[in-house]
Amino acid sequence: MDRILFGDNQFFGVNHMSEEKARAQAMRFSSTQSIMDVLDDTLDLGIKTFMCTTHEGISDICDYIRADPKKYRDFEFYPCMPYAYKYANAMTELGVMGALKKFVQGDMLSTMLRGSKALFTRDFTQLVLLLIDAEMKMFRGLKTKVIFIQNITVDLMLGLGLREPFIAFAEHVKTKYNAEPGFQTMNLPLLLNALEECGIGNPIVCSTINKIGFRMCGGVEAYERVLREKKFRPIAMSVFASGAIAPREALEYICSLKEIESIVFGASTRAHIQHTKELIESL
């Protein structure tokens, strides 16, 4: 994995500290071109991996990238799915079957039937794989070296004590997409224990890691301990704690944790991207 990854929260109105700032960002990035202008800046600055959700807007980004394969030959996606908010909203508006019909399109009657059975029998594993396959369609023909299961789903599975979906997801991603499975979480110690129980060795795990313990279930000391003691490939997200920590202070802490392999951050301007990249490299 690259040392520096670029995230997508700023493009789709996600800010964990300020709803006002989130709304302003969503308005600013209401067009595909406005997002591509920033992604072009990241690529120009040498950041070529984009960790993103499967928000509807990403599909347009994928189309844009596919249309110019020469320019974006080094560009990679690390997709994170399933995008829980999208399904929750669709089920509220359309009902369960209506939501499935919206997202599982084309000649996929058998898949839809399997999906409805999964819902009504609570076969969580089958449902997760169904949604992964549906959402991966937007990335056809593009580089997806690592595919992540998103933290909302991961942490739900942890809370329910489920293990089979972790194993099935990892195997599915390897065999069907020739990619490495990645896991996002807000509870790093608990997830690592679960993955060990599943026999998933040296996993790629993206977790909130920052100096003040923002959204770190278990606390800073527990995270530092598992970084030292567990064998896995850590990616740090929410390193600035949604702006609560100054950039240099935040990155001095993250870069002092030598076990962390990659850092993912989001930014809205070329100057901010360049400043953050230079800070990480200098530290």
The domain locations on the chain are 4-282
Q: What is the pLDDT of residue 203?
A: 98
Q: CA 40 to CA 92: how far, in whole Å?
A: 36
| Range 4-282 has CATH code 3.20.20.100 | yes
Percent of the chain surpassing pLDDT 90: 71
Lowest mean pLDDT, pick from 50-59, 99-108, 274-283: 99-108
Mean pLDDT of the region 226-253? 97
pLDDT tier, 92 (very low <50, low <70, confident <90, very high otherwise): low
**Residue located via tokens 């991966």:** 136
Mean pLDDT of the region 254-275? 97
- Do the Cβ atoms of 58 and 8 come closer than 8 Å? yes
Percent of the chain surpassing pLDDT 70: 81
Burial tier of 110 (Cβ tally within 10 Å: 0-12, 13-18, 19+) = exposed
pLDDT, averaged across the chain: 88
Q: CA 208 to CA 275: how far, in whole Å?
A: 21
pLDDT tier, 118 (very low <50, low <70, confident <90, very high otherwise): very low
**pTM as predicted:** 0.86
Q: Euclidean distance between the first and final Cα of the chain, in Å?
A: 18
In the predicted structure, residue 87 carries a pLDDT above the cut 70 = no
- Do the Cβ atoms of 209 and 216 come closer than 8 Å? yes
Widest CA span in the chain: 53
Mean pLDDT of the region 60-68? 97
Q: CA 277 to CA 227: how far, in whole Å?
A: 23
Task: Check residues 180 and 20 and name the one with the higher pLDDT.
Answer: 180
Which 8-state DSSP code applies to residue 230?
S
Angle at 33 between CA 30 and CA 35, to 5 degrees: 65
Q: How far is CA 100 from CA 129, 153, 206, 262, in A?
A: 13, 17, 28, 35
Q: Going by C-beta distance under 8 Å and a sequence separation of 6 or more, which residues neighbour residue 82? A: 54, 128, 131, 132, 135, 149, 150, 153
Q: What is the pLDDT of residue 265?
A: 97
Angle at 193 between CA 195 and CA 121, to 5 degrees: 55
Q: What is the pLDDT of residue 19?
A: 65
Q: CA 54 to CA 219: how far, in whole Å?
A: 29
Q: What is the pLDDT of residue 117?
A: 44
